[in-house]
Structure 1
């Protein structure tokens, strides 16, 4: 899945390449932030940024650090030599594509999975009616990959490089890799070919084959050769009295997550009624979990508030009878998956995005 509203830079160095860049920009301009760069000597009114003489290398290297996808319409050798000093890590480098000046081949050069270069290669090749060139082993073998699976679920897993290399190699070589995935995450996954799918009860206690567990839950027995992939797709609804302390918020959250066997890193968004947008303890929890925050009016929450038990006192005070569940429901678009929990002056509920 392509990232939301990514920024794309297209760099050409010839007139022929610039025409291809214009074609790509025209096809994507209504959907994405696309900017076309070309040397001053061939620049025209459809080029967004002219590159002064002697500024090609620093310009491209700066773009590499700023954009989500860098498309270079030139020889592969020039592209590699230009960006090589700024390449750092597959988890942070942007997608880099190379296109020949006749527009016949679109090459996924860097960050094929995590950066999305393979997906962009397919997309741009369709626009140009060109041949996509993808050399990632799992793609050429037409099997799934661990890092792309995790990307689709905005997920975390430990020892990223080592585990990605291990699992993707085994998948590409058609070796057995077990996979357990919670059924509510399946609609967000596009490809699982190559994995041996198992149920929770079938997770082996001991096996030479690795086991990938995709779950926001933590109630799994200690296992060898197991990689726990934690999707960051949960929405935590919070209701609280005014000026609850960070200690109260932290304790309630820990109890809520522990009772329901939920992974802390699965929380993507913390939400509440707009009257609580300046509540320090909610801000503290969001900062601790590296989660987004959303706050909505009583009028907005009232649309889904009817789905949950209502407190007359809360409704009289803030306008809706159930803040935590209504907030989680409204933000995620789904009925709460984990029923409301009440701690000291704080309530919490959770739903899946």
Structure 2
């Protein structure tokens, strides 16, 4: 993420913003001019918070709001468009008890950033995306670390729901081509040492796992 903005609207929020600035010097912290003490670490603004938050939402890769989740929802609800383009939005309460991933948890990186900040602040990370709480694979992030991209995301939601609900996604039959599959190694793979298994000796094969 190149541009991360922090928005504070209370005195405690300003203190939290300064703490975040110390931890992440490249982030920009914004707060109302009425709280100004001329601190150079803060970008003081004179317009209304409702105007400021919309500007930051449209120009930031991630927006961290240091006030209530309800207020954030009311201020941004009409500007939320698409999880592929909306920035990550996080919420931190006035006492840094919780860091909440509010929007664009996967594609926007809000979940990962939430975990990171919560650890730094000693706060509780709040992540509600089903794939994360159920410890399943977030389909929309598969292969992202390798630079993979989804050309057609029309079935992502459906497949994600099937995974979360532990339902069958697809049937794959390997009976006809089983001898064409080559396994080089990896977790759960061993070397064939015993004859009579129908497998070539001294070749890798998957170790069956008892259930």
Aligned to 1:192: none
2:29 corresponds to 1:36: yes
Task: State the shift of 1:77 in Å.
Answer: 1.1
Q: Distance in 2 between matches of 1:166 and 1:174?
A: 12
What does 1:1-353 correspond to in 2, within 5 Å?
3=1, 6-29=2-25, 33-44=26-37, 45-52=39-46, 54-160=47-153, 162-177=154-169
Would you tell me which structure has more strand in proportion to its own residues?
1
Task: State the shift of 1:7 in Å.
Answer: 1.1
Structure 1 residue runs of 4 or more that deviate by more than 6 Å after TM superposition = none
2:95 is paired with a residue of what secondary structure? coil
2:136–2:164: 8 Å Cα contact kept in structure 1?
yes
Asked which structure has the greater RCO (Cα within 8 Å, sep 6+), the reply is: 2
1:22–1:46: 8 Å Cα contact kept in structure 2?
no
TM-score with structure 2 setting the length = 0.76
Structure 1: unaligned runs, 5 residues or longer? 179-195, 203-353
* C-alpha RMSD of matched pairs (Å): 2.0
Listed one character per residue, the Cα deviations across residues 96-132 of structure 1 (whole Å, up to 9, x for unaligned) are 0001000000000000000000001001101110000
Task: State the shift of 1:46 in Å.
Answer: 4.6
2:142 is paired with a residue of what secondary structure? helix
1:62 is paired with a residue of what secondary structure? helix
2:21–2:41: 8 Å Cα contact kept in structure 1?
no
1:145–1:167: 8 Å Cα contact kept in structure 2?
no
1:143 is paired with a residue of what secondary structure? coil
1:166 and 1:150, CA in 2 relative to 1: closer, same or farther beyond 3 A? farther
1:107 is paired with a residue of what secondary structure? strand
Q: Distance in 2 between matches of 1:8 and 1:73?
A: 13
Would you tell me which structure has more helix in proportion to its own residues?
1
Task: State the shift of 1:83 in Å.
Answer: 1.4
Listed one character per residue, the Cα deviations across residues 289-315 of structure 1 (whole Å, up to 9, x for unaligned) are xxxxxxxxxxxxxxxxxxxxxxxxxxx
1:16 and 1:119, CA in 2 relative to 1: closer, same or farther beyond 3 A? same
1:150 and 1:80, CA in 2 relative to 1: closer, same or farther beyond 3 A? farther
Listed one character per residue, the Cα deviations across residues 185-234 of structure 1 (whole Å, up to 9, x for unaligned) are xxxxxxxxxxx9x9xx67xxxxxxxxxxxxxxxxxxxxxxxxxxxxxxxx
Q: Distance in 2 between matches of 1:134 and 1:21?
A: 21
Aligned residue pair count: 173
2:8–2:17: 8 Å Cα contact kept in structure 1?
yes
Task: State the shift of 1:81 in Å.
Answer: 1.2
TM-score with structure 1 setting the length = 0.46
